[in-house]
Amino acid sequence: MSDKNFIKNITSKDIELSKNTILNMIKSVSLDDFRELCEKSDFIFPFLKERIVKDFVKLINKEDLKAVFEFSKIYCSDFEDLIVNSLLKFASEDLTDEILNILENGTQEQKAYCVLYFSHIQDTLSLEYLNKYSYSDFEPLKINCAQTLSKFGDKTVYNEMKNIILNSDDDFKKMSAFSYISAYKGNDAIDFIVNNMSNSPLKVQIASCMLDFNDLDSFKNLEQYKIIQIFSTLIEGYPEDISLETIGYYRILDFVKLINSYNTQFAKNSLILAREKFREFCENDIYTYDLDKNTKLYLSDINNYFKSLKLDTKGLSEELKEYNSDRYNLALGVIKELNLKEYSNILVSGLHFLNEENIAKTAVVLKELQSNNLIPVEILNNIQNENIKALVKSLIN
């Protein structure tokens, strides 16, 4: 029977009470307790989760492995280390054989944990399963296979995922492949993702997924413009596609400081748009009322840092000559955000160099600047897509 005070006791400041609660869960093989721990995970402070995992692994004995295998029937990413490190504590040939058997016959939740065992115990007999389960519909199993195969240096599925991204017309299949490559990690993976995410309608999700597995330090070998591209895509996603609760995890302030060090107009444009967005977040309670205290403080730190920056638009005209690129789109965004009507003539003069999509974007901005009367009717001849042509035509006075 589950202890009604289980969560209170396992997270208690009384370390001995917490350890006794863990030990009782182990000895009684209480799946109900472990399930509750997983279900309440989002409400437990990270340092407490780390303490629980550490103490669990210390307290587990070899004869208690049956509890570990029982708990492995419930998957929880926050407690992966609890299961995997417990298995590693007693790693042996016999245990490896038992885990291989689970890869063959276990539940998908058990398999998701067990594949991570082989990221440490690199038994080549697991490779068949790792490659097979890389196509699992159970996302944790697929992702954990990617991470483990990366440790092996096996790129069979990794390369197939690249082919899906390059050749598939299915955006959701491509998103799944992007997730896999993100979890595989490495400079090649990051570079490939950045090179291929711009044209996807799911680019925000792709960028955030990449950062779920690869932090800012992983980008040190990327060119500056690619780092700006990742940052700008993330900022574009807040708050509709990405929760503001992630700003600390994604180290947005460190991103801002890094990009500010570049001192180019492209970098400044990305920061101007981010500055305006974060100012809005801080000035409107609708964005922050349900954020935790630490996130609110971090949000305030970002906003205050932006206030200390001097971000000019002196190089904006040159950026507008980078037609159909991320540089053009950021410059266009700055003009729209700051209502810079003085750039209307430059925008109009560049219309003939733009692709259809950017003609439409620029026409919309000209409308917002009340300069749509400057759009030449002849630009419609450059547009084949009837929907885009109808939109632009509706904007022309």
User: pLDDT value at position 2?
Assistant: 55
228: burial class by Cβ within 10 Å (0-12, 13-18, 19+)? buried
User: pLDDT value at position 53?
Assistant: 96
Rounded to two decimals, the pTM is: 0.87
User: pLDDT value at position 181?
Assistant: 97
User: pLDDT value at position 25?
Assistant: 95
Phi-psi region of 52 (alpha: psi -120 to 50; beta: other; left: phi over 0): alpha
pLDDT digit string (tens) for the chain, length 397 residues? 456 789 999 999 999 999 999 999 999 999 999 999 999 998 898 999 999 999 999 999 999 999 999 999 999 999 999 999 999 999 999 999 999 999 999 999 999 999 999 999 999 999 999 999 999 999 999 999 999 999 999 999 999 999 999 999 999 999 999 999 999 999 999 999 999 998 888 999 999 999 999 988 988 889 999 999 999 999 999 999 999 999 999 999 999 999 999 989 999 999 999 999 999 999 999 999 889 899 999 999 999 999 999 999 999 999 999 998 999 999 999 999 999 999 999 999 999 999 999 999 999 999 999 999 999 999 999 999 999 999 999 998 6
Whether the CB-CB separation of 128 and 98 falls below 8 Å is answered with no
Half-sphere exposure of 378 (CA within 13 A, CB side): 5
